[in-house]
A and B are shown apart, each in its own frame.
Chain A
Amino acid sequence: NAGVMQNPRHLVRRRGQEARLRCSPMKGHSHVYWYRQLPEEGLKFMVYLQKENIIDESGMPKERFSAEFPKEGPSILRIQQVVRGDSAAYFCASSPFPDRGSNQPQHFGDGTRLSIL
């Protein structure tokens, strides 16, 4: 199955530590999106990346959060100095070739559930 792969599935960190979440898009997909889902809420857009470029980071918190999608390897969402409020499920999605008419669906991974102690 060549779906969107996220790891780890579950991640536990203590306050002040760093969290790194990885996402490998579907084969042939060059666009990656990160979303955050707080408990009992819908998903909120964080950032949209192409290879080596951040296209839209309007949903990213201004501090402690960063994302990259290098030429080789998975996309990484990095959270520095985590706090309790960062506890959430983080989902990655990917889509193929450049959007034409907003009708290309995004395919989601199973998410990383981040718990902050």
Chain B
Amino acid sequence: GNSVTQMEGPVTLSEEAFLTINCTYTATGYPSLFWYVQYPGEGLQLLLKATKADDKGSNKGFEATYRKETTSFHLEKGSVQVSDSAVYFCALKAAGNKLTFGGGTRVLVKP
């Protein structure tokens, strides 16, 4: 079956530090890949997506590249802000429409 593995948190950083959250996946076929962000008490918001190999998704300074050869979709941001503190979820969607999520990575950015 499909699965997503992402690094466990919490990840604690200082403002303006570089952020990387690793995500690898196992899937049949050619899935689409997503990063969602969840702020406290809220639902998930789509952060970025990529639908085929070598696609790069980007939004709000975050980037992730669909690497088929390493089955990875690592999330990066060059300079984080306190407002980036949240839980980040990597997810894939293969045939059938349902999303398969990783366990989430809590990020805490300190001023």
Contact = CB atoms under 8 A, between A and B. Distances in A.
B98 A59 contact: yes
A31 B97 CA distance: 10
Contacts of A44: 101
Contact of A48 (B44, B49, B97): B97
B104 A41 contact: yes
B96 A56 contact: yes
Contacts of A45: 98-100
Given A41-B104, A103-B32, A108 B44 contact: yes
Q: How large is the interface on B (under 10, 10 to 19, 20 to 34, 35 or more residues)?
A: 20 to 34
Contacts of A4: 43
A105 B34 contact: yes
A11 to B, nearest CB: 15
B46 A110 contact: no
A58 B42 CA distance: 26
Contacts of A31: 97
Interface of A: 4, 6, 31, 33, 35, 41-45, 48, 55-56, 58-59, 91, 93, 95, 99, 101-103, 105-111
Of all A-B residue pairs in the complex, the 5 with the closest CB atoms, nearest first, are A108-B43, A42-B101, A103-B51, A110-B43, A108-B44
Interface of B: 30-32, 34, 36, 41-46, 49, 51, 89, 93-104
